[in-house]
Structure 1
Amino acid sequence: MHGRLKVKTTEEQKAEKQKEQQKKLQLYRAGMKKILSTRASDLYDPESFGISTQLLCVNPDIYTLWNYRKEVLLIEKEESSKDEIEGDNKLAAFLDKEISLTEQCLIANPKSYGSWHHRYWVLMLHPNPNWDKEFGLCTKYLTYDDRNFHCWDYRRLLINKIGITLPAEIKFSTDCLNNNFSNYSSWHYRSTLRQLDENCIEDELNLVQSAVFTDPADSSAWFYFRWVLSNPALSKEKRQELLDNLEQLQELDPDCKWVVLAKCWLTGSLVLSDSEFVDKRVQFYKELIELDPTRKGQYEHYLKIAEEKLANN
């Protein structure tokens, strides 16, 4: 009827989408062809460099383009070294634009391996890198997404550049975890900060116990708990205390497999020195078979080992 908008059919919409995709593919191929042709000549071509910028803003995971840009930056570095007066300033200005590009790419994809790697590489090439500003930006990114393990890895690189104190970084890690216990990346980052010893292991146990008691079903803190338990600085008396705490937690949440697994981790290290824990280990694996039937075969294997040790005692 007149005056009514025509609604496109599904097939028409699909055809238009395919046409648009083909157009983008042709532009991408043409751009890559242009870049690769000039790359082979070892000369800096501003047009190709500009095309690579456009392509990376759309898709920052094209490693070939990041490598191409590295080659161009090295050419710029060599040229700037010939100018003893303004060389460093010209290079810095060129690299600042490159840093801005990586920031645009990270907005498009905050977990782009290529963008994070290239950003750090450019800063290492920079005659006057602002590591403090970079560290602040890294902290800002983590407030947006504290699960971005790329950003956590990047932060680990930066702390070696700015010389931040260990207590300050431990506090930052603690604040992040108190804000969100369910964060594998944050727990892992914390494990890289220092070696556990008698002076700090108590604090780590208090923190991770707070996490597992808050949400026993969340696996992230349990993995960190296991890492802490593997430390030889943990005394037998402390292990027994932790085992008692886990017994209390199991009363509150009897269907949580992680509690029983943690009890296995604790008693497993004591089997050789205290025979009473062999009985408990057998009991725990029988419980796990019921609580976590998906891994029944694994638990039956460990149960068989525990029963053999029990028979030999």
Structure 2
Amino acid sequence: MHGRTRKSKEELEDSEYLDNQKQEIARYRSKLDTVFQQRNEKRFTSDCLKSTSELLNLNPELNTVWNYRREILNETFKGLSKEEKQQKLNDELEYINVSIKKNIKSYWMWNHRQWILANMPSPNWNQEAKLVDLLFKLDATNFHGWDYRRYVMSKIQETEDKKVVINREFLYTKKKIDQNFANHSAWHYRSKLLPVILENEKESTLSKEVEMIIQAIYSDPDDQNAWLYFDWLIGFEVEKTTMYNLGIDIASELLELEPNSKYALLSLLKYNLALNENEPISPETKKNYLEYINRLRNIDSLRLGLYNDMEENVMNL
């Protein structure tokens, strides 16, 4: 048409995208209004349950809607036999199995999964552990999943030998750490299991843990998890001097290969300071400590404040 500017292909695509977005937002708001109206009216029918499914598929972070969903389910349980309730919750578990794969990091989904199993007349906790393991193939570092796994294992320990379960889980964390040394959740879970393991085999266990830490550190010097685990491990060693010296040896050897390893430098400084705690240090030792701090400043300029504080502490020794 005369007098009208022809839109480019890009402008037409942008316009179409914006129109689609507006339609999606309108649909979402409509479903949101429907669900909240149903809850306000205290309706607990199968249609209401379907409405929550449709809305949660669009946004799984609506805790209020998850609560409403549980209210609906609790109403449907009234008058049911144990077998019928079991089937209802099995169906709900299937719904979560599909949904959680799409959003494995949703806290509310993991919370709802826990609620399902806790309310089942006959929960299969061992099967649940296998299913969680399958979900870890999507994201083995997901801390929500690891929290849930600890919950599942606490239930399994109610019917199985606690030490057997813990030993099995200890091996499981090793498997996951070997797959990815940066799996902080696996390291954290291992730290929760280790105290029980140490009750029977302290010396050999500590030795194996140190070997694993060294392997992790050399595989990825820039990952902090193994260093943190070593720090935590020191708390279980009566002779801390031995562990500090071991940490110094590990850090020193690594720095020969990786001179700019931030965590090796931090550990070298930290363990040396721990060994010299409450003792006067020589000018040469102080000079070495200040050199470590200067190297850290050059490597990690984002934390200059921390290194300035460390320098002040060293100067006051």
TM-score range, shorter chain: 0.7 to 0.9
After superposition, the Cα gap between the structure-2 partners of 1:294 and 1:23, relative to the gap in structure 1 and judged at 3 Å, is closer
1:171-222, CA deviations, whole angstroms, 9 ceiling, x for partnerless residues? 1111111122122222122222232854433322221111101221222322
Shift of 1:165: 1.6
Within the alignment, does 1:137 sit opposite 2:128 as a pair? no
Instruction: State the Cα RMSD in Å.
Output: 2.3
Shift of 1:257: 1.4
Pairing partner for 1:214 from 192, 214, 219: 219
Task: List gaps (5 residues or longer) in structure 2.
Answer: 1-6, 158-163
> Is residue 226–residue 265 contact of structure 1 (8 Å, CA) maintained in 2?
no
Paired residue for 1:192?
192
Paired residue for 2:303?
295
1:231-288, CA deviations, whole angstroms, 9 ceiling, x for partnerless residues? 4535313321331232111111111111110112212322226545963544432332
Paired residue for 2:61?
61
> Is residue 293–residue 311 contact of structure 2 (8 Å, CA) maintained in 1?
yes
Matched positions, count: 297
Pairing partner for 2:108 from 105, 108, 114: 114
Pairing partner for 1:260 from 265, 275, 280: 265
Secondary structure in 2 matching 1:129: coil
Within the alignment, does 1:153 sit opposite 2:144 as a pair? no
After superposition, the Cα gap between the structure-2 partners of 1:206 and 1:123, relative to the gap in structure 1 and judged at 3 Å, is same
Normalized against structure 2, the TM-score is what? 0.85
Task: List gaps (5 residues or longer) in structure 1.
Answer: 1-6, 81-86
Shift of 1:31: 2.1
Paired residue for 2:3?
none
Shift of 1:17: 2.0
Q: Deviation above 4 Å: which 4+ runs of structure 1? A: 273-278
1:30-66, CA deviations, whole angstroms, 9 ceiling, x for partnerless residues? 2222222221233312222112112222332222221
Q: Greater CA deviation, 229-238 or 293-302?
A: 229-238
Paired residue for 1:76?
76
Matched ranges for 1:1-313 at <5 A = 9-80=9-80, 87-163=81-157, 165-195=165-195, 198-199=202-203, 200-231=205-236, 233-272=238-277, 275-276=280-281, 279=286, 280-309=288-317
**1:249 corresponds to which letter in structure 2?**
L
> Is residue 237–residue 243 contact of structure 2 (8 Å, CA) maintained in 1?
no
**1:9 corresponds to which letter in structure 2?**
K
Secondary structure in 2 matching 1:192: helix
Find the aligned partners of 1:110 and 1:238 in 2 and give their Cα distance: 38
